[in-house]
Structure formats: structure tokens, C-alpha cells
Amino acid sequence: MSAAAPVSSAAPGVAAAPVFSVDGLWKVFGPKAERVPADPELAALTPAELRSRTGCTAAVRNVSFDVRKGEVFVVMGLSGSGKSTLVRCLTRLIEPTSGGLAIDGEDVLAMDKTRLRELRRHRAAMVFQHFGLLPHRTVLDNVAYGLEIQGVGKAERRAKAAEVVAKVGLEGMEQRRPGQLSGGQQQRVGLARALAVDPEVLLFDEPFSALDPLIRRDMQEEVIRLHREEGRTMVFITHDLNEALRLGERIALMRDGRIVQLGTPEEIVGSPADDYVREFVRDVPREQVMTVRTAMRTASAEEAGNGPAVAPDATVSEAIEAVARAGCAARVVDSGRCVGVVDSGALLGVVAGVGGDANAAVGDGRASVGGSQAAVGDDGAPARGSQAPARGSQAPAKADPGLAAGDDEEVA
Ligand SMILES: Nc1ncnc2c1ncn2[C@@H]1O[C@H](COP(=O)(O)OP(=O)(O)OP(=O)(O)O)[C@@H](O)[C@H]1O
């Protein structure tokens, strides 16, 4: 697992306190599941061996990480890699088999039913792919629903709901019913409902995978905007590398229940931890993810006074444009000070994958991947430079009253 760079939400040099701390977490499905993490021999088996020896599936295997306050933490991996199980374990919608889990230092595994309900309703709200909207209620009342089950009075919850509806761009649609909205608009209602309870953390379980690519992009922008405005901690599950790179400040890449790499987009693309990750990211346009820090060298006295200026977190792609226009190396300027220089050779080296040191990366880590479609196929392989749309149906998902706000049913 790679060490992650500090994210922008922490003051320089100060590590933000974790919201979630996950330590050696396991979730094993199947008979006598507890024996798997407890027995080193069983714990070391491959998924297929484990299944044939014990009939068990280890959906989450000895996973440890922190979600820092104010960050967008993405859990990414192919279908079946354990993403949903892991994120559902965070609020014990799925009961972990073993390991440690805390929110703001409080032991989640020791919480009683009342405390758990409080956790799910107030502190960590989930946004699902199927929005769980109540079909006979208006947009406003759907958004107010989470507050209603918290016992907030009608006038107050309607005022709060109206404010959040406006925040997600649904002003004027307050009196519509879910069936009168597009898929993207319904997802905005789902998002507004989660936001209305003002949770400390928003947990997104592939919320946009049923949306068509343009609306999906709009919703991603919406999440980025909301995060910029509010700085709320977000945990976002996706199987789409492009989405992960666009949204994530840090990404946990999962395979067979394990986290194979945890890092900023720049670290994952620039320094893949193993061949699996390398294969996963091989078609990502590196120049759109890597920043100029990876290509920077010390400036000579003459260079420090000449050439176009770029910020340290400018992408290599932006620097290429600056260098091409000016016909000379660009200065990397941080707070008015020249901290280095990037020339065309170094920039090309990053594009070609033969230069650059991702570990030098800073900034908010979030990549601005443009038109690339580094989507992951359903067949277990990253889709090579394909224009593959997201997995799942392209039809707008319909309301699923079975998954209403404040969903605190225990799954396992
Ligand atoms: N209730 C269950 N009982 C038995 N096995 C399960 C159960 N839920 C999940 N699994 C298995 O655990 C593994 C991880 O599943 P999970 O749904 O967490 O993966 P995922 O990465 O979220 O997949 P997807 O992207 O398809 O939703 C899979 O092998 C799955 O079959």
C-alpha cells in the first residue's frame, strides 16, 4: 500500500484527524466465517481455494485505512472486488467479521442499536444508485423525509428542504413527484435528501452508474462543487476509473477484497503498486493526471527569470500548452516564487511514461481527466481506451421505495 500525500483539506504539515479509522477489517460470508480471519492458513488462501475449502467468500480481507476529515475518498475496483461490502461495513449495514472500526474515535463495533441508528441517520448518510424516493411524495417532501424521521417539525424541515433543493439545482421543481423527473434529477433529489440531515460524511454507493454519460458528468461536477463549497467528507464507490480519478482526492483500489493501492490519482497513475494497477491505469492520459511537480527540475538563474509561469498543481497537459506557446521552458511558480522549471523533454517524458516522480505530488490530488473514457469493463478487465459507458442499464433508474431515506435495515 502506498503512502498517500497530504490532501488539501488539511493545513500544510498538519494531518487532518480521521473521520473513519478502519483497522484490519474482514467481512467473510459463509459458514463459520469467524474462523477465516482467525486462522492464518485460511486467511492466506486465494478466493477460489477459500471457497472450495470452506464454502466462504472473503468480501473484505484485512483492510486498513483512514478517511480524513474533508476529503473525497474513493473506493474503486471491478465488480465483486468488495467495494459495497466494505462501505456498508462502515455503518454496520453489513456486520464486519473481525477488525477495528471507529468514527471520530468512537468504536463503531461497540455501538448499540440506538447509537447505530443515530450514526446512520445523522452522521453518515448514504446515497444509493436506486434513490429510494417515495413516489407519492413531492420533491420537497422526499427531501424533508430524513428530517421527518428525525422528528424535526414541519415548518423547519420544509425550510431546510427548500434550501437544500436549491443547493442541488432543483429550484422550481419542489412540487413535482419523482415520476415527473429525469434520472439525473431524481439522483439530485436523493443527494438533497442525504444532505438535508447535514451528515458529517456522505457515503455514495455507485450513485451515478445508471445515468447516461452526460448527466453522469453533470452529477460528478455537482459533487465536486458541493465538496468545494462545503468541504464535507465523502466516501464514493465506483467501478469507473475515470470517475474515480475525477472525484477522488485519494483512491483505494480494491481487488478480491484487498486494497492493492491507496493513493492520490497522481500516485496511482504515476507509481502503480503492481502489475495489476499498472494494467488498470495504462490507458489513462497521464498528462491530464500528472502535475508539473513530477516533471520539474531546478531552474538556472536565467530560467528563473524567464518563460511562462505555471502553478505547481497545473497538469502536465496545461504546461505542454504553455511551453508550446512560449517556445521555451515554463517556470513553476508557487506563491510568487519560482520553485523550478519544466521543459518540453521532461513533459514528454511524463506523457511517454518514462519520467516523473509521482511521490513528489502535492495539491488536492484530484485529477481533471478530460474526455478520456478509462472505464472499466464488466468482464474483469479494464476497458482499453474504450468509450465504454458505465456498467448497468442506461435507463434512468426508477424510484425504489424499498430503500427509503434513513435506510437502516441490517443486511447481514
Ligand atoms: N450476502 C452475501 N453472501 C455471500 N457472498 C456475498 C454477499 N454479498 C456479497 N458477496 C460476495 O462478496 C464479494 C464482494 O461483493 P461486493 O458486492 O462487495 O462487490 P462490489 O465490488 O461492490 O461489486 P459490484 O461493483 O458488482 O457491486 C463478491 O464475491 C460477492 O459475490
- The CATH number covering residue 351 comes to 3.10.580.10
Cα 379 to averaged position of ligand 1 atoms, centre (Å):
15
Residues 81 and 208 in one domain: yes
Asked which of 355, 376, 399 is the last residue of a domain, the reply is 355
Tell me the three-class secondary structure of 91-139, residue by residue: CCCCCCCEEEEEECCEEHHHCCHHHHHHHHHHHEEEEECCCCCCCCCCH
Cα 207 to averaged position of ligand 1 atoms, centre (Å):
17
Residues 92 and 210 in one domain: yes
Residues 210 and 317 in one domain: no
- Of 51-60, 79-88, 185-194, least confident by mean pLDDT is 185-194
Ligand 1 pocket test: pick from 28, 36, 57 the residue with the most ligand atoms within 8 Å of its Cβ.
57
Cell (9 digits) for 372: 478520456
Q: Which residue has the higher pLDDT, 35 or 216?
A: 35
Tell whether 179 is covered by a domain.
yes
Is the model's pLDDT at 39 over the cut of 90?
yes
Tell me, using a 6 A CB cutoff, whether residue 47 lines ligand 1. no
Is the model's pLDDT at 13 over the cut of 90?
no
Is the model's pLDDT at 368 over the cut of 60?
no
**What does DSSP assign to residue 335?**
T
**What does DSSP assign to residue 341?**
E
Handedness of CA 40, 44, 49, 52 (dihedral sign): positive
Mean pLDDT across the stretch 256-282? Answer: 93
Q: Which residue has its alpha carbon closest to ligand 1 atom 7?
A: 29
Mean pLDDT across the stretch 172-181? Answer: 93
Residues 204 and 308 in one domain: no
Ligand 1 pocket test: pick from 81, 88, 126 the residue with the most ligand atoms within 8 Å of its Cβ.
81
Mean pLDDT across the stretch 329-346? Answer: 92
CB 9 within 8 A of CB 71: yes
Give dist(CA 54, CA 408) in Å, integer.
Answer: 30
- Spatial strand order in the sheet of 330-334: 309-310, 330-334, 337-342
Model confidence at 149, pLDDT cuts 50, 70, 90, reads confident
- Of 34-48, 100-114, 284-298, least confident by mean pLDDT is 284-298
Q: Which amino acid is at 353?
A: G
- Of 30-34, 163-167, 357-361, least confident by mean pLDDT is 357-361
Residues 167 and 139 in one domain: yes
Q: Which residue has its alpha carbon closest to ligand 1 atom 28?
A: 80
Asked which of 248, 281, 314 is the last residue of a domain, the reply is 281
Residue-range definition of the domain harbouring residue 307: 291-355
CATH number of the domain enclosing 198:
3.40.50.300
Mean pLDDT across the stretch 394-411? Answer: 35
- Of 96-105, 233-242, 297-306, 400-409, least confident by mean pLDDT is 400-409
Tell whether 367 is covered by a domain.
no
Tell whether 388 is covered by a domain.
no
Residues 276 and 297 in one domain: no
Cα 273 to averaged position of ligand 1 atoms, centre (Å):
24
Tell me, using a 6 A CB cutoff, whether residue 96 lines ligand 1. no
- Give residue 304's pLDDT: 83
Ligand 1 atom with least separation from CA of 60: 14
Q: Which amino acid is at 261?
A: Q
Tell whether 20 is covered by a domain.
no
Residues 276 and 300 in one domain: no
Tell whether 208 is covered by a domain.
yes
**Whole-structure pTM value:** 0.80
Residues 316 and 342 in one domain: yes
Ligand 1 atom with least separation from CA of 58: 12
Chain mean position to CA 393: 21
Cα 304 to averaged position of ligand 1 atoms, centre (Å):
54
Mean pLDDT across the stretch 151-175? Answer: 91
CB 141 within 8 A of CB 152: no
- Give residue 54's pLDDT: 95
Highest mean pLDDT among 7-16, 43-52, 366-375: 43-52
Give dist(CA 401, CA 392) in Å, integer.
Answer: 20
CB 412 within 8 A of CB 94: yes
- Of 141-145, 206-210, 235-239, least confident by mean pLDDT is 206-210
User: Residue 151 CB: number of other CB atoms within 10 A?
Assistant: 7
Asked which of 256, 281, 306 is the last residue of a domain, the reply is 281
Q: Which residue has its alpha carbon closest to ligand 1 atom 18?
A: 82
- Write the pLDDT tens digit of every residue in 104-138: 999 999 999 999 999 998 899 888 776 678 999 99
Tell whether 38 is covered by a domain.
no
Ligand 1 atom with least separation from CA of 77: 21
Residues 138 and 244 in one domain: yes
- Of 25-29, 38-42, 212-216, 280-284, least confident by mean pLDDT is 212-216
Residues 260 and 342 in one domain: no
Model confidence at 236, pLDDT cuts 50, 70, 90, reads very high
Cα 193 to averaged position of ligand 1 atoms, centre (Å):
26
**Closest of 259, 317, 261 to residue 284, by C-alpha:** 317
Domains: count for the chain:
2
- Give residue 59's pLDDT: 97
**Closest of 288, 308, 130, 264 to residue 208, by C-alpha:** 130
Residues 191 and 302 in one domain: no
- Give residue 398's pLDDT: 30
- Give residue 403's pLDDT: 33
Tell whether 49 is covered by a domain.
no
ipTM of predicted assembly, 2 dp: 0.98
Cα 35 to averaged position of ligand 1 atoms, centre (Å):
20
Give dist(CA 383, CA 206) in Å, integer.
Answer: 18
Tell me, using a 6 A CB cutoff, whether residue 382 lines ligand 1. no
Residues 128 and 241 in one domain: yes
Tell whether 409 is covered by a domain.
no
